[in-house]
Structure 1
Amino acid sequence: MGSCIICGTDVGSGRVCDSHQEDVVFDFRGDSPNGLVPSRFYRGVVDGYAEFGVFVDLVPGVTGLLHRSELDRRLDTLDWEPGDEVFVQVKGVRDNGNVDLGWSIRQAEREFRGVLVQEPAGEHRPDEEPSDDGDDGDTEAETETDESADDDIEVADSVGDGESVDSVGDGESADGDAVEADADPEPTDKDVATDNEESAEVDATLASDGDEDSAVAVNGESDGAADEEVDTDADEETDADRERAPITTLGDAIGESIRIEGEVVGVRQTGGPTVFEVSDETGAVDVAAFVEPGVRAYPDVEVGDAVRVDGEVESHRGDVQVESDGLVLLDGEAAEAVRRRIAEALTDEARPEGLQPLGGDETVAALADDLLDAAEAVRRAVLESRPIVVRHPATADGYVAGAAVERAVLPLIRDEHAKSDAEYHYFTRRPLDEPVYGMDAATNDATRMLQDRDRHDEKLPLFLLVGAGSTTESADGIDLLSVYGVDAVVVDAAVADPETRDAVDTLVSPELADVDGDEGLSTGALVASLASAINDEVRPDLRHLPGASYWTDAPDRYVDLARDAGYDAERVAELREAVALEAYYQSYQDKRELIADLLFSDGGNLAAHVSEQFREKLETEIETADANVATEAVDGVEFALLDTDGYTHRYDFPPTPLLLDDLHRRHADGEPFATVGVGTDELYVRTTADVSVRDVAARAAEIAPTADIDTAGVREGKIEFLSGERDAVEDAVVAAVAEAF
């Protein structure tokens, strides 16, 4: 008869009772998956990845699959590498021997309440020898020894020397004498809870630096734990003399005891410790505070609080982390000093020194003040540990713009945060199917940000909309964000409506800036210069991007700039076409690594291969469209009319707007010419003259008043209508376009 290592309850066999099976992690020593016990947590080693999940070796010869549906994050954001030690839960073993694994939020041994070795002959502690007969076989003396060892708990470091614990529950000696804090117990990890469930835990109130108004001690202990005060002159003097360490220096202090002061910018509860992300004027770091598995430490500490942390710097799965010995909630002058240091650092670091437009573009130079405001907003979000969400159209120009910002911001995030996956946590790029920030996109964003705020104590993000959000069609979506006080920055080189200026915090657009310059400025070119202002160190990486953002007639300055960077006209065209193809497929995904490979790391082979697919698919569609284009002349204007429902593959590449763009370029010969693609309830207009799509829609609505004609997208020349009035709408739009010429 054995006893549970957690609660001491008698168990028929094994070393853990049924109620504590999931509190223990097991080292499997069997040779068959049939020996695994469902619902138990096991230590394993990452074997490799597949597109559907991760293979984990529980022991050589016994491998399980952690399916991506079991993860609490996207598979592509999982930072496990082959050979990494991980912890997983066995969900079940199939008849064919396949092992189904589940996600474990606890990814460190210290986050479990105990460790057992599971042999075919039985279970035992790692430091015990397995019994020969397969029975646990504890004698009464051995049980007493185990329980005595279990009861030698380590008192929290925050308790001063010579203090005693008033109550230790089952950890008391047999005659009820209290255990003294300065006793010499068997050494244990200071951050791991005692194996005995009913043992009391002591988390003493920490002394401040002597100013009672400047710090309030916060207790993170569980109910019933004793409160102890540190109140010795010697301790206070030592505490006051301790120097504060800047967070960016912690990477060189692994294993050392340090003190940091900063603002809490994130709190998340794991199955083990509570993890506070603390930021000072130099950077941010995770601070792990442990009470017992899954229990919130320091429940009074929230995002935005100023704190002082004493602890030991450790390397946790390759990331710098502080194991807290004590966390103090600062108040009064001490809190104000922390916030003042951070604010001053933000002011100094957030505003770029100036703007140097790529290629010396004069239009971009005329927008310098607005661009610097946008760059400052982005840099400030990084320094404040606020997530940044970039929204851009799923087009070649949109992806170039989004990738430019991404290239500039990710290094800043890596410098600011110690965690290796911070760039995925604090930066998100979400392409839009259309260059309009509508209610669908805004609702998706609002849902995500509120979930992250309420579930993970994250700050609300900064939204950066590039090539979208500047027209009235985006007003409802932006208004939804503004209800929550979310900051929005819009950068758009094309159409912008005056009403947008009051709806967003920062708007950059030549349309509203009253500047003289090249009317053909692309959003990709404009945002590439913005990215260089955000992070001047990546400027050499951005020089070829403006040229890749134009389909035709790229300004000579950007062609020359790309050539100087090693990208001739053919190579730039391959990049543009490859990005356009990849932008279409899985359009809602950022495809971060793939786009980065195409635009920044490709030696030419990848882009050349993908662009060849682009041309083949486009030529096939153009050939079909050409054979079915109807032409007519109205009031001296030549029209090419295409039934996009009947003569395009609407759900395959190329998308209708891109197809019509290319078709229009091929058919327009300089004369007054327009291309109209008509679908079930939408149509697209392309013209050789500067024709307002809004004016066309308004005039067509007068001609066909029952068709409910309205502008759906100014930038892509899109008009929507009732499908039953299709023929009338086509005639009305053709007449309205002819009048506009």
Structure 2
Amino acid sequence: MGNCIICGTPVDGEICESHEEDAVFEFRGDSPSQLVPGRYYRGTVDGYADFGVFVDIGDHVTGLLHRSELDRRLESLEWEPGDGAYVQVLDVRENGNVDLGWSIRQDEREFRGSLVQTADGEYRPEDYHDEDDGEAESAETEAEVGAAEADAVEDDTDAREASAATNGSGTAESSGSTDTAGSATDSPSGSKPSPSAVATAKTTTPTTATESETEAALKRTTVDAIEDQVGTVVRLEGEITGIRQTSGPTVFELRDETGTVECAAFEEAGVRAYPTVELDDAVALEGEVERHHGELQVETESLEVLEDDEREEVLDRLEAAIEEEARPAIVEFLAEDAAVEAVGDEIIDAATAIRRAVMEARPIVVRHGATADGYVAGAAIERAVLPLIREKHTREDAEYHYFERRPLDGRVYGMDAATGDVTSMLEARDRHGEQLPLVVLVDVGSTVESVDGYELLSLYDAEALVIDDSRADEAVAEAVSTGVVPSLADADVERLTSTVLAANVAAHVNDEVRADLEHLPAVSYWEGAPQAYLDLATEAGYDETAVTERREAVALEAYYQSYKDKRELVIDLLFDDDGDLAAHVSGQFRAKLETELETARENLTIRGLEGVTITVLDTAAFTHRYNFPTTTLLLDALHRSERSRADPPFVTLGVGTDELHVRATEPVNVRDLGAAIEEAAPDAGVRVVGGRDGHVEFLAGEREAVQEAAIEALGELLG
């Protein structure tokens, strides 16, 4: 029984429960499970990632301070690797991951007390004695004694050898063979060696030729086998896929045919070890397998770059393994769908490219539209890829390093987005030694306006593939490695979504998650979902209400912070929600949408021309531009609700300050519409964005002329 260091209350230990958050702890344990959630700990910055900061808590545990926990932008932190930091432990997960929180107190003087926490309990700093220090002192003393004994034995041996030479009792050959170890173990009298002789044998005997041959003959093992070899020296052969310099060792990521592992090599603090080793080198590495902060790591003892035949042998082995494993063995689409079957080969090619990227330790960046269809399609790919990354990489946070979803505003992968991606990938390559990514475009990027972006990626040999339900342009098929675009195969895409395509790709990326994906196609349809996908959702346990609520909930959340992936929230809505979360968010969606629809209906202008009914909404004047819903989503809903009021063809035209959007009961080629508007209003700066399914942009000063030209053109195109 002790007393709380802050209030003096009698407690079992050194601090009462009510004052645990007033003290800072120095952690001397060896397992995350020994941490106490709610307590503040002194740590050391280990490194940065896009999603937060890794902080070492003591010598054996690392936690993640997620950027969402910071009270400032991640980029504004002035911490460098090795700097001290004070953090709060929020949670210790079952898998050992430690979630950290921000501490506004970043100086020990700002806490009311400090304690040392071990696996057994907490101690006042003045009462704590580190057993390791005592062991180190003992080891140092033993080493000094051993050295002294060795010197004494060496002097004695020299004297005996000199005596033998003087008395003629032995030849030069015999005295050379009677080294200390030999004389100790091979004594004619059979007597045991003295302690001093044993010390000499251990400390001064050089490595023999036989021992060197044994070390050289160390057999190669594979990454997937080292988990059972902790504490053992192993030999790995593979390709260097990452190089990261920390404030301590250099960390090389090595990939063989079974997976990847991080290998730490130490020259001196912050100094690059093996500076001649580069990305893509084939190497042979020997080192001891250890667990570092709960993750497998190899402590490198030797690292050799392989050349010529040895290099080719390793690379051929890797390529053969990837070829065998990357291509899906079974081809089975989620449901019968002619549009999907039209691009069956491309779906398999896309799945193969994604699986290859995982096996080659290349990051995967998914760019998708910030719409319900875009988010659900991107989440389908994510659901398939993350388990493969966890399987192939030994580091706990691999899924954050090797997979990222980045929502894209609009359906064009333009130079702005491509420049951002190139900047990020070059920074990752230069700062963290990462390979160039595979960029996967989902529900975006299938028209000619995206070609400039793809060409920028190709200048750096970054691969891109497209999965999109839009009416695409042939130029895109030539600009990307794979295009899962049914319109280019002359398939009917009117009853197709990008999620249908992405879910089929994902099912072939990872067959083990196929059951998780079966309800997603139905979620992506606002209306007219094919019965095959509705049946699939029902069989998976999602009735019509559940499907509708998830679609509406994702559509609402896609609007807020549309530039973020919202990974955990989207997972909850689409996969882990029992329905309460989706129902709650869906209710908000309907309330907000209906308010905007009422305003829009009251301000519609109806025009009839050449037998075509055209309803015009001034979206600049009669929508809340910076509130939910977006203009495109509002026009979609407005068109669905109003088209039953007139015979087809029926058109809903949204005219904003400098944009024009069209929805129609008959297919409209927006490029043809744009050309007609440009002819009638040549000074309006008209351009079409997003291809045949896109929208028209124009100069704000020519708005009235553009609107009238659009109405005339629609009458001619559909009349």
TM-score by length of 1: 0.74
Which stretch of the first structure deviates more once superposed, 674-683 or 247-256?
Answer: 247-256
1:548-559 aligned within 5 A:
548-559=523-534
Unaligned runs of 5+ in 1: 1-27, 59-63, 100-108, 110-116, 130-144, 155-161, 163-181, 184-229
Offset at 1:632? 1.6
Q: Is the 8 A contact 1:581 1:610 kept in 2?
A: yes
CA distance in 1, matches of 2:307, 2:123: 50
Q: Does 1:698 align with 2:675?
A: yes
State the AA in 2 paired with 1:97.
E
CA distance in 1, matches of 2:446, 2:431: 32
Which stretch of the first structure deviates more once superposed, 699-708 or 367-376?
Answer: 367-376
Deviation by residue 1:520-544 (Cα, 9 ceiling, x = unmatched): 1111111111111111111111111
Q: Is the 8 A contact 1:42 1:90 kept in 2?
A: no
- Identify the match of residue 215 of structure 2 among 229, 232, 239: 239
- Identify the match of residue 738 of structure 1 among 688, 696, 715: 715
Return closer, same or farther for 1:428/1:32 CA change in 2, 3 Å cut-off: closer
CA distance in 2, matches of 1:416, 1:321: 14
Q: Which runs of 4+ in 1 moved over 6 A?
A: 31-36, 41-44, 49-58, 82-92, 117-126, 145-152
Q: Does 1:272 align with 2:285?
A: no
State the AA in 2 paired with 1:424.
Y
Q: Name the counterpart of 2:273.
A: 297
Offset at 1:422? 0.7
Q: Is the 8 A contact 2:471 2:693 kept in 1?
A: no
Deviation by residue 1:384-412 (Cα, 9 ceiling, x = unmatched): 11111111101111111111111111111
Which stretch of the first structure deviates more once superposed, 546-555 or 256-265?
Answer: 256-265
Q: Is the 8 A contact 1:33 1:97 kept in 2?
A: no
Return closer, same or farther for 1:618/1:301 CA change in 2, 3 Å cut-off: same
Q: Is the 8 A contact 2:381 2:503 kept in 1?
A: yes
State the AA in 1 paired with 2:670.
V
Offset at 1:328? 2.2
Q: Name the counterpart of 2:349.
A: 373
Q: Is the 8 A contact 2:257 2:318 kept in 1?
A: yes
Return closer, same or farther for 1:128/1:453 CA change in 2, 3 Å cut-off: closer
Q: Name the counterpart of 1:210.
A: none
Give 1 or 2: higher helix fraction: 2
Offset at 1:343? 0.8
Equivalent pairs counted in the alignment come to 601
* SS, match of residue 358 in structure 1: coil
Return closer, same or farther for 1:715/1:596 CA change in 2, 3 Å cut-off: farther
Which stretch of the first structure deviates more once superposed, 231-240 or 536-545?
Answer: 231-240
Deviation by residue 1:652-689 (Cα, 9 ceiling, x = unmatched): 11111000000011111242211111111112111111
Q: Name the counterpart of 1:216.
A: none
Q: Name the counterpart of 1:81.
A: 92
- Identify the match of residue 510 of structure 2 among 500, 510, 535: 535
TM-score by length of 2: 0.76
* SS, match of residue 646 in structure 1: coil
Q: Name the counterpart of 1:640.
A: 615
Offset at 1:54? 10
Offset at 1:81? 3.3
- Identify the match of residue 97 of structure 1 among 110, 122, 127: 110
- Identify the match of residue 684 of structure 1 among 661, 683, 688: 661
* SS, match of residue 474 in structure 2: coil
Q: Does 1:727 align with 2:704?
A: yes
* SS, match of residue 428 in structure 1: strand
Offset at 1:714? 3.4
CA distance in 2, matches of 1:628, 1:429: 38
Offset at 1:67? 5.5
* SS, match of residue 562 in structure 1: helix
Q: Is the 8 A contact 2:71 2:102 kept in 1?
A: no
Return closer, same or farther for 1:716/1:623 CA change in 2, 3 Å cut-off: farther
Offset at 1:308? 1.7
Q: Name the counterpart of 1:564.
A: 539
CA distance in 2, matches of 1:575, 1:690: 28
State the AA in 1 paired with 2:226.
L
Return closer, same or farther for 1:90/1:56 CA change in 2, 3 Å cut-off: farther
Q: Name the counterpart of 2:649.
A: 672
Return closer, same or farther for 1:291/1:146 CA change in 2, 3 Å cut-off: farther
Q: Name the counterpart of 1:469.
A: 445
Q: Is the 8 A contact 1:354 1:372 kept in 2?
A: no
Return closer, same or farther for 1:637/1:46 CA change in 2, 3 Å cut-off: farther
Unaligned runs of 5+ in 2: 1-13, 30-34, 41-50, 59-64, 82-88, 113-117, 147-153, 155-179, 182-205
Return closer, same or farther for 1:708/1:90 CA change in 2, 3 Å cut-off: closer
Q: Does 1:660 align with 2:635?
A: yes
Offset at 1:474? 1.1
CA distance in 2, matches of 1:552, 1:574: 13
* SS, match of residue 335 in structure 2: helix
CA distance in 1, matches of 2:250, 2:678: 60
Q: Is the 8 A contact 2:470 2:493 kept in 1?
A: no
Q: Name the counterpart of 1:718.
A: 695
Offset at 1:480? 1.2
Q: Is the 8 A contact 2:486 2:493 kept in 1?
A: no
Which stretch of the first structure deviates more once superposed, 498-507 or 233-242?
Answer: 233-242
Q: Name the counterpart of 1:362.
A: 338
Identical-pair percentage: 50
State the AA in 1 paired with 2:686.
I
Q: Name the counterpart of 1:395.
A: 371
* SS, match of residue 110 in structure 2: coil
- Identify the match of residue 323 of structure 1 among 276, 291, 299: 299
Deviation by residue 1:548-576 (Cα, 9 ceiling, x = unmatched): 11111001111111111111111111111
For the pair shown, the structure with the greater C-alpha radius of gyration is 2
Q: Does 1:310 align with 2:299?
A: no
Return closer, same or farther for 1:322/1:453 CA change in 2, 3 Å cut-off: same
Q: Name the counterpart of 2:361.
A: 385
CA distance in 1, matches of 2:103, 2:582: 42
